[in-house]
Structures are given as structure tokens and as C-alpha cells.
Amino acid sequence: MNSREPFDDLESELLALGDLIDVPGPPPADVAAAVRARLEASRGESPDPAHGPVSTPVRPHTPARRHRRARWKVVTAVVLVVIAITAATPQGRAAVVRILRFAGIELQIGDTPPKAVTAVTPLPYEHTVDPDDLKAEVKFQVRTPKALGEPERVTVADRGRVVSMFWPGGVRLDQFDGGLDPAFFKKLGPPWPDYTKVGPYQAWWIKGAHPLGYLSRQDGTEIPLRQAGPTLIWQQDTLNYRLEGVKTKEEAVRIATSLG
């Protein structure tokens, strides 16, 4: 077999991959230079002739193993090039950070603050229930944060998909079963959410007010709900949580950690 044939196949595959990649405009000059250096390094060439050839330890390899290593290096370089070019342009950054799905919530992040929601809309089929009746309407285990005590009011929405608890001062806790499809969406602008932890669980703290909405399970239709306050979101085991209305991240984490 011609030693060139495996690389011809790889070249064809990379060309096909290129047809599927939408690069949002040319990268800045410094990024282009860095990308070229990475590609040259992946072929064993010196990024800059002034620095001489790249010295690489020589190890015995079979032709198949050499081909796999070369293939892996080139494919890795191409992926890094795409990431570098995409992240280096404003359009690329928007494409990368536009949607973040975490804890059953879709975060729609833009470059500017979103327009505030002035109306208030309830969740689909939302109704008040007695805490003693939750087991009859909800399939998952409902938990109450010990730091807040018993809520003033409890509601169930979307045929048992979401349970909401309310306390004085606008504090509320939404909890819902952790499935593949997100339930809520939030429209955010600067500043970015803060990463934190609730015990061993990953969490995000959203500092300011922001539009909150609901994604119906059937067709993904967006239902604007209201302007939400500062919120902590996290996933614990198979359940998703959003704690809203607590003023600081530290206090929100303390309350979330007390979940019984």
C-alpha cells in the first residue's frame, strides 16, 4: 500500500469536515499566526525558522501506529484551530456562549442586557396544594430547606413537573425532575453568572434581575413568566433546583445546603 494513501484519506475527511464548519469571519492577525504555528507543529515543522527544527524523541512505531498518531495530531490541531478562530471573533464568541444548559435551565446569554419582562404569567396549570397532598401529585421527592422552615405557600405546575415553595420577602424555591429537556429559560447579559458549589454539587449564581420563562415539554414553546431576582441554580442527584430572592450568593448557598 502506498504510504501516502492513509493521509489522502485523512485529507479528504478534513475537507469534508471543513464544509460543515461555519467560521464567522477571518481571525485577527495574532490568532492566525498562532493557528499557523500549531498546524506546523502538528506536522513536525518549526513554527518559526529562526528557532530551528522541533526536536522530538524518536520511538519505534509500526506503520499503523505512526499513522494513528499522525492522524490524531492533525485532527486535534484542526479542532483547536476551529475553537481558536471562533473564540477570537465577536460572532464566534456569541456562538460559543449563546446557550448554556444546566440543571434543567437554558441560559440564553447575550452581549447586552435583555429587555425586562413587565408582565407576570403563572406556570402552566399552576395551582396551590396542601403540602400533605404533594405525594399524590408529584412523582419525585420534594425537599424543604431547613434554613427557611415551612413555606407559606406551595404550588404544583405542568401536571406535577414543577413544585414551587414561597416564603416572605419574595424568596421562592422551584424544584423539578431532572430530565434531558430543560424546563426554564433565563435571558442574561453581562455580568456572567458566578460558578459556585452547593456541598459537592456544581451551581451557578445569577446576580441581578433577569427575564425568566418556561419551555413547554411538548413543542419547546417559550412562555415569558416574569422578571426574576437573583437566583442560585444547581442539580442535586436527579433533581434540579432554583432558589430565587436571596440577596447574596453566600446566603443562597447556605440555604441550599440545608435542603432536607
Torsion of CA 49, 51, 56, 58, to 10 degrees: 70
| Residue 214: band (very low, low, confident or very high) from pLDDT cuts 50, 70, 90 | very high
Q: Please say which residue of 95, 124, 157 terminates a domain.
A: 95
- Calculate the average pLDDT of the chain: 76
Q: Please say which residue of 95, 118, 146 terminates a domain.
A: 95
**Are residue 104 and residue 118 in the same domain, yes or no?**
yes
pLDDT higher for 133 or 216? 133
**Are residue 76 and residue 189 in the same domain, yes or no?**
no
Query: Bridge-partner residues for 166, per DSSP?
Result: 153, 172
Output the nine-digit C-alpha cell for 137: 401529585
Whole-angstrom distance, CA of residue 89 vs CA of residue 213: 30
Q: Which helix (H) or strand (E) is 101 found in, with range?
A: strand 99-102
Residue 6 has pLDDT above 70, yes or no: no
Residue 8 has pLDDT above 80, yes or no: no
**Model pLDDT, residue 44:** 55
Q: Is 200 within 8 Å of 206 (Cβ atoms)?
A: no
Torsion of CA 242, 125, 153, 228, to 10 degrees: 40
**Are residue 88 and residue 122 in the same domain, yes or no?**
no
Instruction: Describe the strand order of the beta sheet including 184-188 as a list of residue ranges.
Output: 99-102, 105-109, 184-188, 210-215, 222-228
Residue 48 has pLDDT above 50, yes or no: no
What is the rounded average pLDDT of the residues 242-250?
97
Residue carrying the nine cell digits 400533605: 132
Query: Bridge-partner residues for 223, per DSSP?
Result: 214
**Are residue 106 and residue 155 in the same domain, yes or no?**
yes
Residue 24 has pLDDT above 50, yes or no: no
**Model pLDDT, residue 47:** 47
**Model pLDDT, residue 65:** 52
**Are residue 64 and residue 117 in the same domain, yes or no?**
no
**Containing structural domain, residue 11:** 5-95
Q: Please say which residue of 71, 95, 119 terminates a domain.
A: 95
Provide the 3-class DSSP secondary structure of residue 213.
strand
Q: Is 234 within 8 Å of 256 (Cβ atoms)?
A: yes
Residue 201 has pLDDT above 90, yes or no: yes
| Residue 50: band (very low, low, confident or very high) from pLDDT cuts 50, 70, 90 | very low
Query: Bridge-partner residues for 235, per DSSP?
Result: 240
95-137 confidence digits (pLDDT tens): 444 677 888 898 888 888 899 999 999 999 999 999 999 999 9
Query: Bridge-partner residues for 153, per DSSP?
Result: 166
